Amino acid sequence: MAILAAMAVPHPPIILPEIGKGEEGKIARTTAAYHEVMKRAAALEPDTVVITSPHATLYSDYFHISPGEKAKGDFSAFRCPGVKVEAEYDAAFAKALADACAEEDFPAGFLGEREPALDHGTMIPLYFLQPELKKPVKVVRIGLSGLGADVHYRLGEKIAETAERLGRRVVFIASGDLSHKLKADGPYGFAEEGPVFDEAVTKDFGAADFLSLLTIPPDLAEGAAECGLRSFWIMAGALDRQAVKSELLSHEGPFGVGYGVAYFTTAGEDVSRDIGRQLHEKEARDIASIREREDAYVHLARLSLETFVKSHVFLPLPKDLPAELQDKRAGCFVSIKKDGRLRGCIGTLAPGRRNLAEEILYNAVSAGMHDPRFSQVTAEELPKLVYDVDVLSEPEPIDSPKQLDVKCYGVIVQNGERRGVLLPDLAGVDSVEEQIAIARRKGNIGAREPIQLWRFEVTRHV
């Protein structure tokens, strides 16, 4: 079996005695679990260790495979330059994986390395593994991406295929912390999503329930400020169609960040665990259900963008639209999501078209094709897109942030010609202070510059 075992491990620098200086004692169970899984991995005498790290080179639409023959790094960023880690890369494995990805036009390879030095998400697992090894082991280091769960899972499958093709004995290390928002006095504060996320992931680890792991709601993951989920998705793909025995060895979070250690071993082929296929089928069912429920507002937005992407012309307004779309004028925003994450959002604060229907039609195309934060939507993406339409009330000026409520009101901040807008009731925006700060950034308005505030309400169609 090419993939001998896999593990999910955290990477808190404080776990190293040279950095923790006694504080590491507060996560003693994590340390003990770390030693245990690395002893198990070393006993398998692997040829290659594949490590996926959130702190390696990361792109939104591409997986970076570290090139070269070797790399090293230290913990200077954590005031401990004397602790150094070196790794010899399995250059042949990395090239074979990159070539396999190129053949499939899969977005992974050697392009765009920004920092050749080892990152701490890679170094900490190696710090624990290397002393346990009877012989040196070569490493393949891979960064994450902003792509969906299915694409991360497919990368894991390609890693396993490459290991099988080369005859490598491989241990897979998925480096990643859990939520960063477990405690109010932690470095990132508390969010109610934090403990919920950790409970969900550790439960999935313990049961090897990879379909559940792949379908954790994006709003939950974002609200929890997680670190390692996409790393775990790749790991799951590397174990595709394998009988998996799982063990959750520890979970702690005394510093406000979740640290989970889990170990997975394979026990032969199990075709019922074709989780990638199951994920695609579930996503198709979910999208079909959304399409069945969409109202006239959302249907018009979707039809508008689909028509433009496929034909490069605007949709003629349908004749059978409800009266409120034909007779009413209002500003509106169209938001597009893919895999639960924003894919585009464009809107108008005040009506600029003949009626609300036209407002939705043109804003939907703009959201998909002209949002400067994203590339243009492609025809291949259309089946996976989900749409929201927010119809705005007329904005009203307010004198104080006290007149805002992030759940009820959107906000407009303005300084001269610069203006930033944020819709209400957005995932991860939990306070008026956050709402205003984000709107300032969107309007390129400094934190100390004076602003005029407006608020508005929306009727949301999903």
- At 88-146, the pLDDT tens digits run 999 999 999 999 999 999 999 999 998 899 999 999 999 999 999 999 999 999 999 99
Domain boundary among 219, 241, 276: 276
- Provide the 8-state DSSP code for 295: -
Mean pLDDT of all residues belonging to the chain: 96
pLDDT value at 156 more than 80: yes
Q: Is residue 89 part of a domain?
A: yes
Give domain status of residue 263, yes or no.
Answer: yes
Task: Please give the structure tokens belonging to residue 448.
Answer: 């100390």
Is 127 found in the same domain as 41?
Answer: yes
**Within a 10 A sphere around the Cβ of 281, how many other Cβ atoms?**
10
181 located within any domain: yes
**pLDDT given for residue 161 in this prediction:** 97
φ/ψ of 429, rounded to 5, equals: -105, 100
Give the whole-angstrom CA distance, residue 11 versus residue 450: 41
| Whether the Cβ atoms of residue 8 and residue 228 lie closer than 8 Å to each other | yes
Average pLDDT in the 270-292 region? 96
pLDDT-above-90 percentage for the chain: 97
Q: In the listed set 356, 389, 422, which residue is the last one of a domain according to the structure? A: 389
Instruction: Tell me the pTM.
Output: 0.90
> Which tokens go with 212?
């559940």
- For residue 426, name the pLDDT band (cuts at 50, 70, 90): confident
191-219 pLDDT, tens digit per residue, is: 999 999 999 999 999 999 999 999 999 99
How far apart (Å, rounded) are the C-alpha atoms in residues 400 and 406? 14
- Domain check: are 162 and 300 in the same one? no
pLDDT in tens, 28-56: 999 999 999 999 999 999 999 999 999 99
> What range does the domain containing 256 cover?
3-276
Same domain, 21 and 87: yes
Token output for 199: 């409970």
Are residues 140 and 264 both part of a single domain? yes
284 within a domain of the structure (yes/no): no
Considering 389, 424, 443, which residue would you say is the last residue of a domain?
A: 389
Rounded to an integer, what distance in angstroms lies between the CA atom of residue 83 and that of residue 130?
14
Quote the CA–CA distance of 344 and 348 in Å, as a whole number.
14
User: Is the pLDDT confidence value at 231 over 70?
Assistant: yes
Whether 82 and 218 map to the same domain: the answer is yes
Place of tokens 């579930």: 282
The answer to whether the CB of 41 falls within 8 A of the CB of 7 is yes
In terms of domains, do 304 and 195 share one?
A: no
Domain contains 452? yes
Can you give the CATH number for the domain in which 413 is found? 3.30.1490.150
Mark whether 177 and 53 lie in a shared domain: yes
Q: Is the pLDDT of residue 184 over 70?
A: yes
| pLDDT at 181 (0 to 100) | 96
Strands across the sheet containing 48-53? 138-143, 48-53, 170-175, 3-9, 259-269, 242-252
Residue 127 tokens read as: 């710090």
Q: Report pLDDT digits (tens) over 60-86.
A: 999 999 999 999 999 999 999 999 999
Q: Is the pLDDT of residue 428 over 80?
A: no
SS (H, E, C) 171-235: EEEEECCCCCCECCCCCCCECCHHHHHHHHHHHHHHHCCHHHHHCCCHHHHHHHCCCCHHHHHHH
Considering the domain architecture, whether residues 340 and 432 belong to the same structural domain is answered as: no
| Residue 86 shares a structural domain with residue 36 | yes
Same domain, yes or no: 83 and 122? yes
User: Minimal CA–CA distance to 261: which of 33, 21, 431, 13?
Assistant: 33
Residue 309 lies in a domain: yes
Same domain, 404 and 364: no
pLDDT tens for 305-363 read 999 999 999 999 999 999 999 999 999 999 999 988 899 999 999 999 999 999 999 99
1: confidence class by pLDDT, cuts 50, 70, 90: low
Angle at 387 between CA 386 and CA 393, to 5 degrees: 155
Average pLDDT estimate for 251-269: 96
The enclosing domain of 310 has a CATH number of: 3.30.700.20
Count of CB atoms situated within 10 Å of the CB of 304: 25
In this structure, the answer to whether residues 116 and 18 fall within a common structural domain is yes
DSSP 403-441: G--TTT-EEEEEETTEEEEE-SS-TT--SHHHHHHHHHH
The number of domains in the chain is: 3
Domain CATH number, residue 143:
3.40.830.10
